[in-house]
A and B are shown apart, each in its own frame.
Chain A
């Protein structure tokens, strides 16, 4: 009996053991280590040197490269997230209709989500090729057809147009994912609400504005938070498509962290930059949670 009770008391730890060992080694300890590391200068070969908050100060006030990549990351995030949310919402509403062939559309729009991002980035690099890419060929043909000379940019070699091209890849890849989340949200809206509104003579727009949007707001809340978190961490799209160029025009924060750690052997500075990234993500998530009452309607409140 005593052995049995002892077993019951410690059982939880047995079940937890495999997971928590890995969790401590590869998540919990690294979080603490990374924080500590951000106060040291370390090239992985010579012993680390404690330098206090110097690297944070350097990044924030005295590093034009960091300023550039932070700007790029914000530009990318606020260029893609609103478009992603709006596009996927519209798609979901369209795909929620009783139409023939709806499953096929759904399958097609979700295809990019399962596609390897590296392969997708390679194709988009080829599509946006300035001289032989399919996009510029199309624009030239359009120009000939309309008898207007169109001079499309050399997308990926232009400091101005490279980032929008990267954003297009990101949207193509991810809109299908967000769309499915919205579809789930749409299907949870009780049909009676629409019927009641129709009795009151509400049109399509009124139903969308006063039923669909408010009822979907918890989904939108989730979608916006997750999209922001992911967008701030963008890495592969520019890494493959533009290598971060031209002239740092598409280098993002995570790529800057990667470069510092694995190209320039500045482990501490990379860790400090990673914590600044976390701080940004935290602040934006916190703001969303803090101000959700202003626009998110939960059923319990109504």
Chain B
């Protein structure tokens, strides 16, 4: 038993090292002198650590601006998506109206359609609305999600309907029931959805790539890709940029890791 435990640890440890090496290599390269990047055998601990690489990175590329854009985009999409999806989910789960089931079926039907199918018409719409290279283009198209609506509807259905009835008898409006009964009771589902919507938006690439073209509208992932295009073999700078892009989300994850894991197990999946 002890031997089995030991071998399991050895295996898991080896796997962990494989998982961590890219992060270590990223950090190590980001602190190297340009001349030390291309040496054999490679150095793991740069001597001396060159922190100026970070300064140079943010000077040649407006990472501050990319950050700001990413934060604005990810937060806005998350808030809008949660708000509109929870309202719609409430309607689907609790209210009776003509065409409800048909509309819900329409929502379900589109969930299977891959993003590339709607990509081009969405771009055309944004193009004709004159939204290309604006926050409207970054925020509005991803802000209405059939998947989030579906997920919240399922969750709302698990809340006892007697609670609504009691409130109705007391004269509460539907809006109040949504805001003061259903929403507070859906904390875990909303938190999960918020985390994964935020994460998905923070890392989203294809849509921001397509609808932005000026440097000042780039989000972090797209900015990083642009950076790669311009400094393709300056690995010390590219890796510094990658660390800048990865660090905050990793810190958030390490602090709140329980929520991430619980979220997936709760819903069975997350956004991507």
Contacts and interface: CB of A to CB of B under 8 A. Distances in A.
A233 B225 CA distance: 19
Interface of A: 9-13, 15-16, 18-23, 25-31, 33-34, 37, 44, 91, 94-95, 97, 99, 101, 105-112, 114-120, 122-124, 126-127, 131-132, 134, 137, 140-141, 172, 176-177, 180-181, 183-184, 187, 222, 226, 229-230, 232-233, 235-236, 239-240, 253-254, 257-258, 261-262, 267, 270-271, 274-275, 277-278, 281-282, 285
Q: Which of A18, A30, A137, A282 has the most CB of B within 10 A?
A: A30
Contacts of A109: 15-16, 19
Interface centre among B8, B95, B125, B210 (most CB of A within 10 A): B95
Given A25-B125, A116-B220, A99 B119 contact: no
A211 to B, nearest CB: 18
Interface of B is mostly: helix
A230 to B, nearest CB: 7
Interface in B94-122: 95-97, 100, 103, 106-107, 110, 112-122
Contact of A278 (B117, B220, B252, B268): B117
Interface residues of B, number: 96
A231 to B, nearest CB: 11
A57 B89 CA distance: 41
A119 B19 contact: no
Contact of B264 (A117, A134, A184, A257): A184
Contacts of A240: 225, 228
Given A27-B110, A33-B124, A34-B117, A16 B103 contact: yes
B121 A34 contact: yes
A16 B20 CA distance: 45
A110 B259 CA distance: 12
28 contacts: A10-B97, A11-B97, A15-B178, A16-B92, A18-B87, A22-B141, A26-B125, A31-B113, A37-B121, A44-B127, A94-B12, A97-B8, A105-B15, A106-B261, A114-B249, A115-B246, A116-B224, A122-B239, A127-B21, A131-B38, A134-B25, A172-B22, A181-B269, A183-B265, A226-B269, A257-B116, A271-B121, A277-B116
B203 A116 contact: yes
Q: Is the interface of A mostly helix, strand, loop or mixed?
A: helix
Contacts of B143: 22
B175 to A, nearest CB: 8
Interface of B: 5, 8-9, 11-12, 15-16, 18-23, 25-26, 29, 37-42, 83-85, 87-88, 90-92, 95-97, 100, 103, 106-107, 110, 112-125, 127, 140-144, 146, 149, 174, 178, 199, 202-203, 205-206, 210, 220-222, 224-225, 228, 235, 238-239, 241-243, 245-246, 249-250, 252-254, 257, 260-261, 264-265, 268-270, 272
